[in-house]
Amino acid sequence: MHDRKGDTKCHLVAYRPNVYNEITIKKEVIRTMKKMTKATALVLGLALSAGLLTGCGTTAENTAETTGMADGTETISKTVSETTAPEPVEVSTVTWWSGDSHNKDLMEKLIKDFNETTGREKGINIEYKVIGGDGATQAVELALKSGAGPDLFTKGDTNVMAQEGTILAIEDLPGGDEILATYGDAIPYSFTSGGKTYRVPVGATTRGLVYNKDMFKAAGIVDENGEAKPPVTYEELREDAKKLTDESARKYGIIFPLKWGAWFDSDVGSNASQQTTEFLYYNYDKGVYDFSGMKPVVEVMAGIYRDGSVYPGADSVDNDSARALFAEGMVGMKFAYSFDVGVLTDQFPAKCDWGVAPLPALDENERYPQYMVYNESPFINAKTEVPLEKIAEVYKFIVSDEVAVERYKAGYDIPWNWDIVKDVQLNDGVSPAFAEFSKMVAISQTEDYRLKVDLGGEESAKDTLIPFIKGDKSLDGLDAAFEEINKRYNNGVDRYYEANADKKEADYAEAVVPGYTRNKVSLDDMDK
C-alpha cells in the first residue's frame, strides 16, 4: 500500500476488507468525486484505481476505466472485483476406528492426502485409529454406549445394531443410492437388515493352495515345460503329498495346523464349499444346517493323514508355525489366505520358490465357487453429529476405486471387483502370488447371513470330525456322525430362538433365501 495523502478511503478498504465490498467502494468514490473538480476527480480516480490494483489485493485482471457522468463527474465504470476474504470453511472431524492393522501405514498416508485436498476444500478432517485384538468389539460397544463412540467403525453385528438403531443405513446418506448402485447384487445379505444396507465390500480375502515349486520339481511333479504343476483335484492332492514326503529329510507333503482354532472351518469347511451346491454346510434355500457336503473332503484328508504325508505333531502346530515351516522349505503344500502373501514376504520370508493355485476339487468339471471373505466398509454411527453430506464424502473416499487400487498395488487387499486391477502392476517387492490370489475372486463367493445356533454345551462339528481325520475313529462311522451333527445344529437353532424370541423374525428373514442356487464355475473364469 502506497501512502498517499487523500487516499483515506483506500486505506480503509485495504485495512478493513471485510467492511467495504465493491458496492461500498463505488458509493464512496462517487460521493468524493462529486465534491471535487473534474481534474482533481480524475487524478483521485486514477490513484484510487492504482491503489486498488497494487495495494488492495486485486489481480491484474481488475482494471479500471473512467467515463463521464451526467453531473459532470467521472467514476469507475468497470466493477472492482470482490476484495472480501472468503469465508472460512467450518471443519468437521470424522473419527474412524478401523479393525484392519495390516494396511495401517498405507491408509494413514491416503487419509493424509484426503485431508489436505478434498478435506481442506470441504471442511473435513479424518481422524483414523486402528483398534484390534480380542477386545476390539467390546471397546467399540462401550464407546457407543457412553456416547463417545466414533463416527465410523468396523466392529459389530449388522442385524443386531440395525435393530437397536445404533447404525445408519447407507441409503440415508446424501448420494447413498449412487454408492450402492456401483455394487449391484454383490452386496451379501450379511451387510443388510430390514431391506436396508449398512456396509459394502471394500475388498476381498480369497483362499488357495500355496505350494513349494522347488519341492515339486525335485519330486518330478512338473508339466510338459518342466514347471511345477500343482494339483487340480483332491485325488492329485493326495498323490502329490505322497511324492513330496521324505521322512529322512523331515520334509512332508502337506501340513495340518490342528492347534489353530480356526483350522477346521478354514481348511475343511471352506474347502468343501466348492464341492457342493450348499455353502459352508448351510442350506440357504431351506434355512437348515447340512454338514454332509463335508464328507468327501474329510475322507480325502483322512487318507492323506493315514498315508503319513502330513507334517508330524499336527496337534501342537498352530498357523504361524505352519507358515514358518512352509517358508523354511519343509512343507510342500499348505492351504492359505491371500493375506498370507504378506506373511511369507515379511513375517516369515520364504526361502523357497513358491506359488499359489486354486483349491482342488473332487471333480474339476463339478466345481462350485470357493469361499472368500469380504473386507467390509465401516458402519456409520447413527448418532454422529457430523453433517451427513460430509460423512458421505468420507464414505465415498473409503470405497473409491482409487483407494482400492492403491491397497492392491501394495499387496494388502484385493478389490471386490477384480476388473479394476486386472491390468494394474503390483509395487516393487510385492510377490506376484498376490495377483494369483486376486484372480480367484472370479471363482469365489462370500458367505451370507445364517441362522444363529446355541449348541447348549454339546460337541461342535469340529470336535466330532477331527478324530476321523486323525485316524482315532473309523471312517465307517462318518455317515452316522454327520446325521448327528445336523440334528445337533438344527436343534441349536431352535434353542437359540427360544431364548431370543424377539430376534427370530428378523434373523429368519435374512438367513432363508427361497430358491437359492449356486452356479458352477470354471478355472478359465479367472483369465477372462
Closest by Cα among 379, 392, 389 to 168: 379
Q: The C-alpha cell of 262 is what? A: 480356526
For the residues 127-146, what does the mean pLDDT come to?
85
Secondary structure letter of residue 251 according to DSSP: B
Helix H or strand E segment including 261: none
pLDDT at 116: 97
Question: Does residue 335 surpass a pLDDT of 80?
Answer: yes
| CA–CA distance, 314 with 4 (Å, rounded to integer) | 92
pLDDT in tens, 299-310: 999 999 999 999
pLDDT, residue 83, reads 52
Each residue's pLDDT tens digit, 433-453:
999 999 999 999 988 888 999
- Domain positions in the chain are 8-76, 88-179+378-399, 207-373+446-527
pLDDT mean over 42-66: 41
pLDDT of residue 134: 67
d(CA 383, CA 72): 65
- Residue recorded with cell 446355541: 454
Q: In what side-by-side order are the strands of the sheet with 124-130?
A: 124-130, 92-98, 152-153, 379-380
Q: Do domains 88-179+378-399 and 207-373+446-527 have the same CATH topology?
A: yes
Band of residue 516 on the pLDDT scale cut at 50, 70, 90: confident
Q: How confident is the model at residue 321 (pLDDT cuts 50, 70, 90)?
A: very high
Beta bridge partners of 283: 288
Asked if 424 contacts 405 with a C-beta cutoff of 8 angstroms, the reply is: yes
As to burial, measured by CB atoms within 10 angstroms (0-12 exposed, 13-18 middle, 19+ buried), residue 354 is: buried
Contacts of 58 (CB under 8 A, 6+ apart): 52, 80, 81, 83
Confidence of residue 503 (pLDDT cuts 50, 70, 90): confident
pLDDT above 70: percentage of residues in the chain: 83
Assign residue 36 a region (left: φ > 0; alpha: ψ between -120 and 50; beta: otherwise).
beta
The pLDDT of residue 463 is: 96
Determine the Cα–Cα distance for residues 22 and 17; give it in Å rounded to an integer. 10
Which of 431, 377, 471 is CA-nearest to residue 179? Answer: 377
Q: Per DSSP, what are the bridge partners of residue 372?
A: 446
Measure the N-to-C terminal CA separation of the chain; round to a whole number of Å.
Answer: 67
Which residue would you say has higher pLDDT here, 136 or 15? Answer: 136
Average pLDDT over residues 506-518: 84
pLDDT tens readout for residues 462-497: 999 999 999 999 999 999 999 999 999 999 999 999
> Can you give the pLDDT at residue 85?
57
- pLDDT score for 253: 98
Q: The whole model's pTM is what?
A: 0.77
pLDDT category of residue 499 using cuts at 50, 70 and 90: very high
Taking a C-beta distance cutoff of 8 angstroms, is the pair 111, 406 a contact? no
Q: Which CATH class is domain 88-179+378-399?
A: alpha beta
Class of domain 207-373+446-527 as given by CATH: alpha beta
Which grid cell is 357? Answer: 493355485
